[in-house]
Amino acid sequence: MIRVVCFDLGGVLVKIRPSWRLALSHIPGAPASLPDDLESFEPFKEYQAGGIQEGEYLAALSQWARLHSRESAVGAHQAILIEPYPKTWELVRGLQKAGYKSGCLSNTNGLHWDLMMDFSEYPAVASLDFKSASHISKKAKPDVGAYLHFESLCAHAPGQILFFDDNLSNVIAARDRGWAAEQVDPSIETAPQIVRHLRSHGIDLDL
């Protein structure tokens, strides 16, 4: 029986710009041709995994994207985040009122984490009961260690966890671990998708 509902953040609870081309489109002087995959910039991937410090990452980003100050690098990095998806705060609050615990399992980083922990900006994320992040655990999905870290936080068995992620590889890894898991399409509103999946798992929630 499901006791904990766990979410990825970017692409599930939080709307993001999923490419460097989009994130840097508003930055004067940024290269005209940039990769679509955020993790294709290796220092970003290392920063998310807790492998390098913030200053080293921002210096690398400044050089790579032809930025001229630490502030510009921070602004470019934070531009990846856009806003919460509609109704996600109501979703998390509804789950908690119905007696379910909530949590996140996210490949993220310190700069984004600090912003998403601000209730005034991202109330759904800030209100979650259990929060697991790659830069803290140093385990990134789909590595099984990331799922084990979340299990240790929530103290529930794999079969009691329902997980939502926009990345199919992460969904498959969760299922391999024994979790219930569903893929979410980040290109449309996510809360209605999640509600439909919740009902298929016996959790009837109205927004």
Q: Is the pLDDT of residue 192 over 90?
A: yes
* Arithmetic mean of pLDDT, 179-207: 96
Name the 3-class secondary structure at 16: strand
Nearest to 5 by CA among 84, 81, 94, 87: 94
> Which letter does DSSP use for residue 39 in this model?
G
- pLDDT of 72 reads 86
- pLDDT of 29 reads 67
Which of the four pLDDT bands, split at 50, 70 and 90, describes residue 32?
low
CA 202 to chain centre: 25
Thinking of the domain 4-15+83-200, which architecture would CATH place it in?
A: 3-Layer(aba) Sandwich (3.40)
For residues 183 and 26, the answer to whether their CB atoms sit within 8 Å is: no
> Using CA atoms, how far apart are residues 161 and 155, in angstroms rounded to an integer?
10
> Using CA atoms, how far apart are residues 11 and 22, in angstroms rounded to an integer?
15
Structure tokens at 36: 């679509």
Q: Domain ranges for the chain, please list them.
A: 4-15+83-200, 20-79
Which of the four pLDDT bands, split at 50, 70 and 90, describes residue 87?
very high
Q: Is the pLDDT of residue 26 over 80?
A: no
Structure tokens at 70: 């630490």
Which of the four pLDDT bands, split at 50, 70 and 90, describes residue 4?
very high
Cα angle 194-200-203, degrees, rounded to a multiple of 5: 75
Q: How many CB atoms lie within 10 A of CB 139?
A: 20
> Using CA atoms, how far apart are residues 135 and 196, in angstroms rounded to an integer?
31
Task: Give the contacts of 197 (CB within 8 A, at least 6 positions apart).
Answer: 162, 164, 182
- pLDDT of 182 reads 98
For residues 11 and 171, the answer to whether their CB atoms sit within 8 Å is: no
